[in-house]
Amino acid sequence: MAYCLNPDCKQPQNPDSLKFCENCGMPLVLRGMYQAIAPIGQGGMGRTFRAINLDKFNQPCVIKQFLPQIQSSNISSQMLRKATELFNREAKQLYELGRHPQIPELFASFAEQDQLYLVQELIEGQTLAAELQANGAFSPMAIAQLLNDLLTVLQFIHDRGVIHRDIKPENIIRRDRDHLPVLVDFGAAKVAAAATTTATVIGSLDYTAPEQLRGKPIFASDLYSLGVTCIQLLTNVTTGELFCDRRDAWIWRQFLPQPLSEQQEATLGKVLDQLICRAVADRYKTAIAALVDLQANSNPKNGSANSPRPANNQISNVAAKQPSASARGKITPATPTAFKRQKRQNAQNKQSNQKPNTNNTNSAIAKYPSSRAPIKSVRPMRSLAQPQNSSQAQNLPTPNNLSNYVVNQPGQSLNHQLVPAYGQLQQLLEAGAWQEADSLTNAIILQLLDRAQLNQISKGDIHNFPCVDLLHLDRLWTGYSSDRFGFTVQLEIWQSLGGLIAYNAENYWQFADTYLKFAPKVGWQIQRPWFIPSLAEPQWRKYEDFIFSRQAPYGHLPSFGYGDGYRLLDSLFARLSFCN
């Protein structure tokens, strides 16, 4: 059955064999390939349809038709522009978020017959709202599992600077084939802006954080909405009843079908309370912080009535569920001529002892770091005592003794909140899961420095990096890679190229010059193939094209100094040297 997408059509059902609607004459196939077959739902922004892709053997998909309710005269043109902006924003967000397994993939976005359309992956399953209505309140184990699964998704989108702004049971679908929760409806999502920017208030009021209601959404706003979603699922009570206006507090515990056990209170209860704190200062700042607390002492078991999939207690969810795209600033190529011009100017400045243009150099590196040197895998000289083979790596700490482990820092121990994460990192490195270990390492660094994104880290933050944690991260990487990867390896390569570990405005051009040599040496930059090698222009290796194996060049991982992290590399090396 083909379904006509004309909103004014009185008889939209048509036989499959027709190309045009029998009733109104509108084409039944969009872009010559997408055919709607049945409506799924309708809201103020538009309609959604189950559809098939005729070019891909009738692959199921979803068509979203932008159809704001503008027929009535009380809808202003400003509201229409805002609705159009939101619809286009959803397409952009879905495209930029890539192919995360728990976010619908965007297939197409286009205009046809004076209508806007999105075509995206069809998620077969029930929303959590429908699941709640059908099965009743979720068990504590099911909620713990749900948090395990969704906090990783939030970490992923927040790493990319996106705030969802409309997390609620209706926007989470439990997929039939693997029972994983999928986060849908990114129409309200936006890129995080400066704190001074006031945004239009968007979202479902029952789940919206106080600061978002004031037009100031932040990453923690999504965590609040997820927490409110969880307490509603846990109690099967409306949010209006769960919140006490007189006390200005959530009173969800008194609506529980059964009280939480002592262990559940210490883990799940604590996490939920901190997720739904109305004061931002008291709420979790990052999803991984909540995940670490949740997994610190919990051990959800299989067999929940609401969550048939087995529990997964590993903190590697933070990394393993992420696709290959990195949580980094995109390096957009600029013209090579502009960069070479800046290089010549720097050389002249050096000869005449003039102060270089630091800002331009900084910008040039970010946009188009070039290099004349071919890629070579160099074996750096050892300068620090680290395990150099697999047998020595076996002497590294295990997850069971990490909490008391100290690296060259008498009287100090690892951040206790991250002990489970360090244990998982050790397991990932031991298994050779380099990509997951790299993602988890970046997440740990963000947690240690109390930042939500890499581009929020300052040089001052790096100067305050806890030595015991920095050295422990480095020892794990160098030990389990047999000295191929790690910050120490990168530092030795940096110094072998004549790099310093401290720069200022007077000699910053030297940092730029060394970085241009360092990037290709560790394989972050490659030469674009060209039939005239001398004319070949260098290009950044995309993160998804990183070499996550022992065949990678020395110093290829961790990737902290790549992308947005380039500006912090010298500070990291300075801190590492100080800590050693």
Active site (catalytic) residues: 166
DSSP state of 356: P
State whether residue 243 is helix, strand or coil: strand
The two beta strands, 2-3 and 13-14, are antiparallel
Find out whether the peptide bond into 310 is cis, omega within 30 degrees of 0.
Answer: no
Supply angle C-alpha 40, 43, 48, rounded to 5. Answer: 30
Q: Rounded distance, CA 12 to CA 412, Å?
A: 70
Nearest to 232 by CA among 250, 212, 218: 250
First to last CA, the chain: 70
- Cβ proximity of 539 and 529 under 8 Å: no
Nearest to 373 by CA among 536, 162, 208, 508: 536
The secondary structure element, H or E, covering residue 14 is strand 13-14
Q: Rounded distance, CA 150 to CA 180, Å?
A: 9
The two beta strands, 2-3 and 106-112, are unpaired
Q: Which residues contact 550 (CB under 8 A, 6 or more apart)?
A: 432, 481, 482, 484
Find out whether the peptide bond into 217 is cis, omega within 30 degrees of 0.
Answer: no
Q: Rounded distance, CA 23 to CA 434, Å?
A: 58
Report DSSP letters for 558-569, one per residue.
Answer: --TTSGGGGGGH
Nearest to 109 by CA among 123, 124, 89, 81: 89
Q: Rounded distance, CA 515 to CA 433, Å?
A: 27
Written as six digits, the tokens of 199 are 């945004």
Strand order in the sheet with 59-66: 29-30, 34-42, 46-53, 59-66, 115-121, 106-112
Burial of 366 (0-12, 13-18, 19+ CB in 10 A): middle
Q: Rounded distance, CA 62 to CA 375, Å?
A: 45
Query: In this structure, how many other beta carbons lie within 10 angstroms of the beta carbon of residue 39?
Result: 15
